[in-house]
Chain A
């Protein structure tokens, strides 16, 4: 596609359930990033991929969070046993070199 796409656009879940968020980067972009944006806050870096490997996982807030990328393309961010504090917008970005291009985000609400 022309831009970064994310699905679902909105996700409402119950506390304790697992969720999967998907990101489709711009075709050919080798790097992929996940960020979290809580209400009224800036961007919190979570993880980035270069190809299928994740050189920097330093931003993952707990071991309930994990991410994978397959085929150098699609990435999935998984949150296990969701908590209310996980409620946020999760943004994905991709890049070929320095400039990152963002998707529209997935709004996650944990009840």
Chain B
């Protein structure tokens, strides 16, 4: 069965520091992988996605993620965090085409300190 694990419930980084949020998935085939961000009181916004091809994916707001098949991971990174990046981040995995049930991780809440 598909599953997504985000091992860190919350992370605190200093503004300007680098960030890496971890995500591990379980899926038998090549997955579709997503990172979403949810600011307080808001819906989820797509940061980036991986379907195939280059394993390093660039997203919005300066985020990137790297798909590593051997580690079943899709970690999210940003070289320099801004205070406005404080939010909840969700990793997700999906399969198939058209409508399907995307499985979300439990989320990692990012706190940014000045």
Q: A31-B99, A48-B99, A56-B101 are in contact. Are A102 and B106 (CB under 8 A)?
A: no
Q: Determine the distance from Cα of A72 to Cα of B105 in the docked complex, in whole angstroms.
A: 29
A-B contact count (CB 8 A): 61
Chain B residue total in the interface (Cβ 8 A) = 24
* Interface residues contributed by chain A, number (CB under 8 Å): 29
Complex CA gap A49/B101 in Å reads 10
B76 to chain A, nearest CB (A): 16
Contact indicator per residue, chain A 68-110, by CB within 8 Å of chain B (1) or not (0): 0000000000000000000000010101011111111100000
Main secondary structure of the interface of B (DSSP, over half): loop
In the assembled complex, which residues on chain A have CB atoms less than 8 Å from the CB atom of B97?
A: 97-98
17 more contacts with CB within 8 A, not counting A42-B107, A98-B49, A103-B43, are A35-B104, A42-B104, A45-B101, A45-B103, A48-B99, A48-B101, A55-B99, A91-B44, A95-B99, A97-B98, A98-B32, A98-B100, A99-B34, A100-B46, A100-B102, A102-B44, A105-B43
Q: Which residues of B contact A (CB under 8 A)?
A: 32, 34, 36, 42-46, 49, 51, 90, 94, 96-107
Tell me the A residues contacting B by CB distance below 8 Å: 4, 30-33, 35, 41-43, 45, 48-50, 55-56, 58-59, 91, 93, 95, 97-105
